[in-house]
Structure 1
Amino acid sequence: MSAPGPLLLGLDVGTYSSKGVLVTPAGELVAQQVVTHTLSMPAPGHVEQDADGVWWADAQQLIRALLQGVDPARVAGVACSAIGPTVLPLDSHGRPLRPGILYGVDTRAQAQIDALNRELGEARLFAHSGMALTSQATGPKIRWLREHEPGVWARTHTLTTASSYLTYRLTGRHVMDHHTAAHCMPLYDPRTRQWSPAFSAAVLGDRDLSRLPDLAWSDERAGEVTPEAGALTGLRPGTPVAVGTVDALAESLSVGVRAPGDLMLMYGSTTFFVLVQAAATPDPRVWSVGGAFPGQVNLAAGMGTTGSLTRWMADEFARDLPTEQAYDALFAAARDLPPGAQGLLCLPYFSGERTPINDPQARGVIAGLTLSHTRAHLFRAALEGVAFGIRHNLEAFAALGADVRRVVAVGGGTKGRLWLQIVSDVTGVPQETAEVTLGASYGDAFLAGRAAGLLSAADLPGWVRPAPTVVPDAAAKAEYDRLYPLYRELYTGTRPVVHALAR
């Protein structure tokens, strides 16, 4: 336990697990906790989680565990992040009316995307939002809710997202950060940074924006812990709570990504990119959004299935191994194979794909299989397929003129460094790493310090202790340069077939 003094509590609810930390205002870790949970996939393309049974239950469990042996009065601030953007309808009492509809891995609203593009015009929508409508956008999912669940819609009083729901349960206030709100297109205007009625009728059925939360920056104070939340969590009522944000933005803060040209590469259940920019460079292939701090702009991108793919492979192809050993064994076996997995190529589009192809009907493909291939080859091919997808995104960034000066890697997939090395070899890009890789919850603790008035944005670099940089291997890169065009061709060549199968 650290010497007596104020503590900051950060909490992140991810796709498959939730994490919490207690740190000092200097960034020193005092305690950490993790709980796991599952997803619900009730229909093809539908990916959901229960707001109270997963998000809020995890939050309560983590907070109580972190406060064991700690005087709650020492907690000077709290901040939450979570998967997003999600869609969660609440009734007039703030109670969830259905499970939350998840971010871009949920592809149910393609018909609504097509309808909005047809009715409003793709060019007009892009000019308004600075982004194209994709499975990441919440507007089409809100329209899906209105069209497919009219009973739920009739009772919907508030539309929120996962991080905002946690902040609401702690403070009683509905508030959303600008980064997340940008994905609520076409309801958000990035120029005015306000909700816009311009296209609201096509999404909400009317021009009434009262269902939407207040807007603020991630590091602003949303409110204070209510007596009810204090009784459920053990936090002291009156403790400041930050607005919070999506997990990827909090994760970028956790490794000091804050200056223009800084790019976070997050190795999680999905792979996410957050680039801090001096000025926005909107492009239909990626997402132009607000940052964590007032006035900041980010370019963001995200793949659909990366860590989720390795988890699937471990679950399906390593059933003979205890869960805790499966990953270690698969990574160790993959490390012994040469670049190219001895003739295999993998398209990692097992949940469709987000950026830069934005194709919800894309599907996973493993090409080149022979009877000599083993599960180690399949696993190596999956790691390499994700790396090729990362290269594809980085090339899209370069094509639109985005200035990437340094890449910082973070997330569970960085452990063991094999995946990092493969990505650097495929992309030719060095990746910086940090000694403390606690993830989004650590970034949330920094936001908590901002909301509590204990930290400034300039304090963030002091929280990050650098670890060795991963540099490309020239020989491996030469082999991957030969394979990358085949990876791109594999998608275009199989697209008609997998689209037909998806239908």
Structure 2
Amino acid sequence: MTPSTAGTHTYVLGIDIGTASTKAVLCTPDGGIVQQARREHSTSLPGPGRAEHDAEGIWWADVHALIRELLPSRPERIRAVCVSGIGPCVLPADADGRPLRPALLYGVDTRAVPLAERIERELGGADAVLARCGSRLGSQSAGPKLAWLRHHEPEVWAATAKVFTAHSYVTHRLTGAYVLDHHSASQYAPLYDLAARAWHQPWAQAVAPGLALPELAWPADIAGRVTARAAAATGLAAGTPVAVGTIDAWAEAESVDVRDPGDLMLMYGSTLFFVGVTGTPVRSPALWSTAGNHPGQHTLAAGMASSGSITQWFRDLTGGAGFPQLTAEAAASPPGAGGLLALPYFAGERTPVADPQARGIIAGLTLRHTRGDVYRALLEATALAVRHHLDAFAEAGFTPGRVVAVGGGTTHPLWPQIVTDVTGVAQEYPHERCGASYGDARFAALAIGAVRPGARWNRPAKVLTPSAATRDLFADRYAAYQDLRTATGPLQHRLAAAQDRHGDPTR
């Protein structure tokens, strides 16, 4: 079935803006996938610790093109739309919503970390911020990025009247609404009070004085309706409801029914991300406690700074081999990668170490090692980091009862199987794996009452189970991983400082 031959069918449209691509899916309101589309884009890295996107040239251009590509012959058959995206990003805009500069991306942009430390002190210390916001301030927090703009780009700040993240900007372009979901707001620490589910104006004014903050809503609420201007640009029918949406990882969790306490999603993407659902609010200095997708839902989250991006780096560095060839070579390398051990901190690290000055290491190299050995060592490094994260979750009192693997890294089972073997935790594969855009489609269906809130959206397809044969090997390798991380920490910082001397001194 295609949109042009679907008779009287109606649809919901989900769109997700990722770090490296934007994806869209056209579904029937009960979750049947009709058609999918994708557009690749690049991320600007203008200096050490800096990562940016052009909101107009990437976010809006991608969404505009994908809507046009998936539009049915009768646009009014799209009953609702929802957009998610990477975040939290900081896009300053003027009073009319026009971007004033490229957006500062989520935790991969670490330029504001020194300000985060200062802001924590000024607000009464790390414990006070953790108690109110659910997370300590760091590279993932949007508040310090706003402060960075105020301190380092005063001319931009003087013109800033609105702030957007990826999905809220596109929603604004479609509807004119200035709205943000509660989950994304909870990553705008220290501006949001997690217990009150509201902006905390005293801290908001201390960090971003004079900035008008968006209205708060939930991802499946209706933000507004497609304006006549947006309809003319995109082809959507004017008046089409647009749901509020959320950050991509939480939309992906929605896509695989990670909604009940004890559910945990592992998202294999450019970064590896974790979303665990808790029955009550949980505070951890090493992780992020956030609002969930629905009223009364709480989540405990974490994120690596690089994972799939390391595999892309290695593919480009070695040249001449695509991922299928590299994966085959890594599969031929034995568990343990021939005695190689790596640290995956190629872009610093977010959780649980919160160290933007961490750096990647490949240890144990000899002339005998092959490309496949090195590639496998990098995959195992990300798996060892997952085990480190699961330890941090356990220390916070969260033990997953159900783990679901999602994202582009699950296309071939090798990487998830390595993670399962290293951690000893089984992972469920969902039947539909088209990602956050599929969760957006569910939000759109919920917004118009086309699906019940508790109804399952995506059934499981298979389960990966750990190998008993490698349990002792990876227990020893995990101990070595922690030893290497601790022993080389000062050296990593020394090398990072040398690298930064060649970058922007204002970072």
TM-score by length of 2: 0.96
| Residue type at the aligned position of 1:484 | Y
Cα shift at 1:122: 1.6
Q: Which residue of 1 aligns with 2:341?
A: 345
Residues 197, 209 of structure 1: 8 Å contact kept? no
Cα deviation, 1:264-303, whole Å, max 9, x if unaligned, reads 1100111111111110111110011111112211111111
Question: 5+ residue gaps in structure 2?
Answer: 498-507
Q: Which residue of 2 aligns with 1:303?
A: 304
Cα deviation, 1:51-92, whole Å, max 9, x if unaligned, reads 00000000001010011x431111010000000000000011
Cα shift at 1:209: 5.0
- Alpha-carbon separation, structure 1, partners of 2:262 and 2:37: 32
Cα shift at 1:18: 0.5
Cα shift at 1:3: 4.9
Q: Which residue of 2 aligns with 1:215?
A: 216
SS at match of 2:202: coil
Q: Which residue of 1 aligns with 2:490?
A: 496
| Identical-residue share of aligned pairs (%) | 52
Please state if 1:360 is matched with 2:356.
Answer: yes
Please state if 1:410 is matched with 2:411.
Answer: no
Cα deviation, 1:339-394, whole Å, max 9, x if unaligned, reads 11001111111111011111111011111111111221111011000000111111
| Residue type at the aligned position of 2:255 | S
Please state if 1:52 is matched with 2:56.
Answer: yes
Residues 92, 157 of structure 1: 8 Å contact kept? yes
Counterparts of 1:351-500 in structure 2, within 5 Å, are: 351-459=347-455, 461=456, 463-500=457-494
- Alpha-carbon separation, structure 2, partners of 1:209 and 1:95: 15
- Alpha-carbon separation, structure 1, partners of 2:68 and 2:273: 30
Counterparts of 1:13-412 in structure 2, within 5 Å, are: 13-67=17-71, 69-120=72-123, 121-204=125-208, 206=209, 208-210=210-212, 212-317=213-318, 319-321=319-321, 326-412=322-408
Residues 133, 189 of structure 2: 8 Å contact kept? yes
| Residue type at the aligned position of 1:155 | A
Superposed CA RMSD in Å reads 1.0
- Alpha-carbon separation, structure 1, partners of 2:134 and 2:325: 44
Cα deviation, 1:131-163, whole Å, max 9, x if unaligned, reads 111100011111001000000000001011111
- Alpha-carbon separation, structure 2, partners of 1:402 and 1:209: 36
Residues 14, 26 of structure 2: 8 Å contact kept? yes
| Residue type at the aligned position of 1:501 | L
Residues 116, 202 of structure 1: 8 Å contact kept? no
| Residue type at the aligned position of 1:368 | G
Residues 162, 211 of structure 2: 8 Å contact kept? no
Cα shift at 1:201: 3.7
Q: Which residue of 1 aligns with 2:501?
A: none
Cα shift at 1:456: 2.2
Residues 195, 209 of structure 1: 8 Å contact kept? no
Residues 277, 403 of structure 1: 8 Å contact kept? no
Residues 129, 185 of structure 1: 8 Å contact kept? yes
Question: 5+ residue gaps in structure 1?
Answer: none
- Alpha-carbon separation, structure 2, partners of 1:73 and 1:132: 45
SS at match of 2:489: helix
Cα deviation, 1:187-218, whole Å, max 9, x if unaligned, reads 101111111123234311x3x452x1111111
**Number of residue pairs matched by the alignment:** 492
- Alpha-carbon separation, structure 1, partners of 2:166 and 2:487: 38
